[in-house]
Amino acid sequence: MEKKQVLIFINGMWGSEWYWQKWINIAEQNGYICRSIIPQNCQRSGGTYVFGDYLTQVRKIINAIIKQFCDHKIILIGHSMGGLIAQKMAEEFELAGAVFVTSAQPRGILVMHWELLSRMWRYVPEMITGKLFIPRKKDVVDLMFSECEDSEGAYAQLIHESGHVALQLATFSVPVADKLKCPSLVVGGTLDQMTPLKVQQKIAYKYGSPLRIFKCGHFPMLEETGGYMFSNILNWIEEQK
């Protein structure tokens, strides 16, 4: 009997499960089992937390899903910061595959560019102190929601994020081995102002992964062409059976 596949969606900074819903609906209609991991604001002493807290939390959840679906193939789909989390998990777990969608970069790949640098100074106090924050609407719309069908509605659903996590991703990020334990796919957008296509090209080169390029921004799952992109991703996933 052919094994079923479980898709695990991991969201990026300031996001949660809501923005995956269209893709989850498509996947479930096509017979996939879907689970989402929402990295929670793990409060440490001093009222702050770091990227490693997310990794600890996600690692436990993935272990639980693997035990629950021990006869299924597991595929990770991570977006933005969730893409970097997925890279770390693919470094540790022997999964059926991992997809990195407009992903944050691992250590060794620079993401800084003028559009990002010219706005980051506003959030330096939060990044230094680790204070929870949401970027101002104009910055989010310009960098992340520029191609979204409903940028206003999307912005209203953002949640606060740790300044320390933002600082880590914006500077030295986290190291990931060049060789992952599972096949991987990198997805980049030609209109992405947050993690530009050149960053995705370097991520694909690092892991020797295929790169799929689309005319989209940073949040393709909220854009008009998002359904077409996800169908393309599902085609790759089918090849991993």
pLDDT in tens, 162-175: 899 999 998 888 99
C-alpha distances out from residue 91 to 7, 55, 194, 207, 233, Å? 17, 12, 24, 10, 20
pLDDT tens, residue by residue, 5-25: 999 999 999 998 999 999 999
Q: Is residue 106 within a helix (H) or strand (E), and if so which, with residue range?
A: none
Instruction: Give the burial string for 34-46 (b: 16+ CB within 10 Å, else e).
Output: bbbbbbebeeeee
pLDDT tens digits along 97-114: 999 999 999 999 987 776
pLDDT score at 1 = 36
Residue 201's pLDDT is what?
Answer: 97
The residue extents of the domains of the chain are: 5-239
Residue type present at position 162: S
Q: What is the pLDDT of residues 118-147, one digit of tens each?
A: 888 899 999 998 888 999 999 999 999 999
**pTM > 0.85:** yes
Helix, strand, coil percentages for the chain (3-state, nearest 5) = 45, 15, 40
Length of the chain, in residues: 241
Cα–Cα distance, 154 to 169 (Å, whole number): 22
The per-residue pLDDT of the chain, averaged, comes to: 91
Burial 205-227 (b: 16+ CB within 10 A, else e): ebbebeebebebbbbbbbbeebe
Question: In this predicted structure, what is the pLDDT of residue 30?
Answer: 93
Q: 45 versus 90: which is more confidently predicted?
A: 90
Superfamily of 5-239 according to CATH: Alpha/Beta hydrolase fold, catalytic domain (3.40.50.1820)
